Amino acid sequence: MKKQWKLIIFYISLTLLITNLPQKAKASVSVSVSARNAILMEQDSGRVLFEKGAHEKRKIASITKIMTAILAIESGKLDEMVTVSDRAEGTEGSSLYLKKGEKIKLEDLVYGLMLRSGNDAAVAIAEHVGGSLEGFVFLMNQKAEEIGMTNSHFANPHGLDDSDDHYSTAYDMALLTRYAMENDTYRTISGTKEHHAPNPTENWEREWKNKNKLLTRLYKYSTGGKTGYTKLAKRTLVSTASKGDMNLIAVTLNASDDWNDHISMFESAFKNYDIVQIIKSGNLKKINNDFYKQKIYIKNEYTYPVTEDEKDKFQIDIQLVNPKEEWEDSRNAPDVVGKAVVRFEDQPIKEIPIYYRHEKDEDSSWFKQIKDLFAALTGVNTNG
């Protein structure tokens, strides 16, 4: 029988918390918002700092277009020209006033989608990226499942009230925005105040100014977002903000005073939370096992938003696989040899891989390069 290898477990108590999983905060602040549903999430960690009915399914209006935009960006087709269809031209509501048969760059359509909320742009994008509007809707729901938007379903690319089967939640829209903000192109478009695009049917170019007043004039820390409104959904808004090393996502649904709702949530977080480094990148110290000593490391640092009274509630357990006999030659050791388990109030909330630093094989080092150069100069190991 093969020998069963147990874990060597080292316990290291820390005073801070790290996680990339959304966690409810025991906030020390109280935020009052007009919105029926709201959420404030720290972008990098995913920690929820404030919520109000965040998991209630609601109509979401044009913040739907965040999904449309990220799918268009990820399609790799931004440089392609899109031919506007009759279906796109005839889309009701907010419009870029596209004309049937005109050709427009997909990238410009995404700018028009996000800045001016063009419903005609949404349909044109959907038909080009998905092959059809229906095909694109399939991609939207596939992406929602991938992201973990478990209480969402999309029926169109624009958010118009043409289906009872089109809905999401404040929490799910924060997850979507967190995902989208990892994309450089999305961040650029979302945070653009004004965009100019060619207009092939006129002698003047199109000029689109962003409808997001937080970005254009109300809030200096705003970095982007998307507005929305329909008669059934009422006012909806997703916005992002950054100050120092803290990046935030706010979502409100059915809000009569959404601009101030978002500012209030942002300001409360900036005032009461600090981003703290929990784990540094580099070698793990205080490891007594001879095989692992000065040979194991974590690739990237981890940070987390905490309030002052949370800094003594966390613990990290370092768990390492017991070295096997065949690892006597360290080159046989796997790349990942354990994990750091982060706990909050004795509950595991994050697992971070621990890597083994292999000694460089002589044949893959600079020594091999010198040896190969010498062989080439002397004619050693050449054919013939």
271 annotated active-site: no
6 is in an annotated binding site: no
How many whole angstroms separate alpha carbon 131 and alpha carbon 218?
A: 39
- The active-site residue, picked from 45, 94, 117, 152, is 117
| DSSP-based three-state secondary structure for 296 | strand
Residue 362 phi, psi (nearest 5): -55, -40
Whose tokens are 């992201």? That residue is 147
- The active-site residue, picked from 52, 59, 65, 211, is 65
- The active-site residue, picked from 45, 52, 62, 268, is 62
Contact 157, 141 (CB under 8 A): no
The helix, strand and coil proportions of the chain, stated in percent and rounded to the nearest 5, come to 30, 30, 40
- Dihedral sign of CA atoms 16, 19, 24, 25 in order: positive
30 annotated active-site: no
How many whole angstroms separate alpha carbon 231 and alpha carbon 237?
A: 15
Beta bridge partners of 317: 11, 341
62 annotated active-site: yes
Distances (CA, A) of 302 to 111, 282, 340, 350: 33, 12, 12, 11
Task: Report the catalytic residues.
Answer: 62, 65, 117
Output the known binding site for substrate.
226
Output the known binding site.
226
